[in-house]
Amino acid sequence: MRMFFDEVLSKTNSIGSPGLDQIRWLQPVRPNDTLHGRFTIIDARVSKSRPTIGILRSNGELFNQHNELLMTVIGIHFVGRRSGEPV
């Protein structure tokens, strides 16, 4: 979560999140692991009720230093947008 905040949320106009659709821990994270992640937007749309808000679905993946996939998560995010601006 800290990596996600530092690299994604702190650099966007995040308004919050209603939660996660899926989270899968495929392998344990061990002491001294060096972690890196990948964050991919899989869907983006404008809120029908509040056009100043974009709704994003994302796929997150967490890897260790051996590039082994440890965790996957699908999330939903609300982001601010200017009217007329694409999501």
pLDDT reading at 7 higher than 70: no
- Phi, psi values for residue 65, rounded to 5°: -65, -15
CA angle 32, 33, 34 (to 5 degrees): 115
1 or 50, which is more confident: 50
Per-residue pLDDT, averaged over 50-77, amounts to: 93
Residue 72 has a pLDDT of 95
Given pLDDT bands bounded at 50, 70 and 90, which one contains residue 81?
confident
Q: How confident is the model at residue 77 (pLDDT cuts 50, 70, 90)?
A: confident
Please give the model's pTM, rounded to 2 decimal places: 0.74
- Domain extents for the chain? 2-80
Listing DSSP states for 45-83 in one string gives: EE-SS-TTEEEEEEEEEEE-TT--EEEEEEEEEEEE--T
The fold of 2-80 is Thiol Ester Dehydrase; Chain A (3.10.129)
